[in-house]
């Protein structure tokens, strides 16, 4: 492929369009508060508990402290953990893959307590509990 001035201008235009999205300018791990702090180009800072992010939950502070920002500022990478986070997804409340997020939401729902859930469990217990699985 021949790189011409036109090709360079097109690439620069694509990069400028990407810069319109929220992007990180700085990222660090705050050991005292146990939060990953991400500073965006707008000056906004986000403090994220590692427990919420796929691949960071069980990480040691030294591994969390080593954060690389992609050249576009759209990605965060923890090389010791081989974990990545897409900054625009972070702003949408997506802290991991779809499967991982679904597991987190399901686990949270299973831990929830309400009067309706207690009543359903009591009614199910009165019927003899959960039916046994039938092997085919």
Task: Give CATH 3.30.2020.40 domain extents, the chain.
Answer: 22-96
Give 37's strand partners. 28, 47
Q: Quick one: three-class SS letters along the chain?
A: CCCCHHHHHHHHHHHHHHHCCCCEEEEEEECCCCEEEEEECCCCEEEECHHHCCCCCCCCHHHHHCCEECCCCCEEEECCCCEEEEHHHHHCCCCCCHHHHHHHHHHHHHHCCCHHHHHHHHHHHHCCCCCCCCCC
pLDDT tens across 30-78, in order?
999 999 999 998 899 999 999 989 899 899 999 999 999 999 899 999 9
The tokens for 120 are 């359903």
Q: What percent of the chain has pLDDT over 70?
A: 90
The answer, yes or no, to whether residue 19 has pLDDT greater than 60, is no
Tell me the CATH architecture of domain 22-96: 2-Layer Sandwich (3.30)
CA-based nearest residue to 73, from 42, 47, 52:
42
pLDDT tens across 110-128, in order?
666 788 878 887 888 888 7
């Amino acid at each position: 492929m021949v790189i011409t001035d036109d090709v360079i201008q097109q690439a620069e235009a694509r990069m400028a369009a990407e810069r319109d999205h929220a992007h990180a300018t700085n990222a660090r791990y705050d050991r005292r508060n146990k939060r990953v702090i991400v500073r965006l180009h707008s000056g906004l800072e986000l403090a994220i508990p590692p427990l919420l992010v796929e691949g960071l939950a069980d990480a040691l502070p030294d591994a969390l402290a080593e954060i690389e920002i992609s050249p576009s500022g759209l990605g965060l990478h923890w090389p010791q953990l081989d974990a990545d986070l897409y900054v625009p997804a972070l702003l949408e409340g997506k802290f991991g893959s779809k499967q991982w997020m679904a597991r987190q939401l399901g686990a949270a729902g299973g831990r929830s307590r309400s009067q309706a859930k207690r009543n359903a469990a009591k009614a199910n217990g009165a019927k003899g509990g959960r039916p046994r699985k039938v092997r085919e």
